[in-house]
């Protein structure tokens, strides 16, 4: 009987942990994203949908603007994941590449501008702090990750640059 009670308590605890996680989202990231969406839609309404669409059409014609300037400005001003929402102004055939570019800016720029993706910085710093507490350097962390993935996938990545 004790085994059955322990199983039932553990089963219910699973849902309690899920509910606690959900509440942390409701009081954390959900309001932030909601307010950013409201701010973005308000700004669009103030500027005017036609002007925004004209700017998007103009920036979509220029690869430098659509894959560098707009994604960086979105990441810098809106952060992750809101920077990805600017893709809604791009033509359909541009959206996948815009998403890839904006994702790139959200992840690589967080080292210089930690407000873009604070969760990623928080996780890296937590792991790095644990490694330095053990008296080891955290610099090989990225190399270790690459080696781990190569081992998991059963592949060896080349260190040589392939000439085109």
At 161 the pLDDT is 62
Tell me, rounded to whole angstroms, the distance of Cα 40 from its chain centroid.
18
At 46 the pLDDT is 92
Percent of the chain whose pLDDT exceeds 70: 94
At 125 the pLDDT is 80
- pLDDT by residue (tens digit) across 26-57? 887 778 778 877 887 898 889 888 887 788 77
Mean pLDDT across the stretch 77-82? 80
- pLDDT by residue (tens digit) across 108-139? 787 778 778 877 777 778 888 888 898 888 77
Distance CA 152, CA 23 (A): 35
The better pLDDT of the pair 159, 108 is held by 108
Distance CA 110, CA 125 (A): 12
At 104 the pLDDT is 85
Say whether pLDDT at 64 is over 60: yes
The better pLDDT of the pair 68, 123 is held by 68
C-beta atoms surrounding 101 within 10 Å: 22
Tokens of 116: 């873009």
At 145 the pLDDT is 67
At 155 the pLDDT is 87
Say whether pLDDT at 143 is over 70: no
At 162 the pLDDT is 66
- Lowest-confidence region among 13-17, 72-76, 113-117: 113-117
């Amino acid at each position: 009987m004790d085994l059955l009670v322990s199983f039932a308590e553990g089963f219910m605890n699973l849902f309690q942990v899920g509910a606690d996680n959900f509440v942390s989202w409701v009081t954390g990231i959900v309001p932030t994203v909601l307010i950013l969406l409201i701010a973005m839609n308000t700004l669009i309404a103030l500027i005017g949908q036609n002007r925004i669409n004209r700017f998007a059409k103009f920036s979509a014609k220029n690869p430098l603007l659509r894959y560098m300037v707009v994604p960086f400005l979105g990441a810098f001003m809106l952060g992750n994941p809101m920077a990805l929402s600017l893709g809604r102004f791009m033509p359909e055939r541009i959206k996948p590449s815009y998403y890839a570019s904006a994702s790139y800016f959200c992840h690589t720029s967080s080292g210089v501008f930690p407000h873009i993706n604070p969760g990623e910085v928080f996780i890296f710093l937590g792991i790095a702090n644990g490694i330095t507490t053990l008296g080891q350097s955290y610099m090989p962390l990225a190399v270790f990750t690459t080696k781990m993935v190569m081992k998991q996938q059963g592949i060896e990545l080349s260190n040589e640059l392939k000439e085109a």
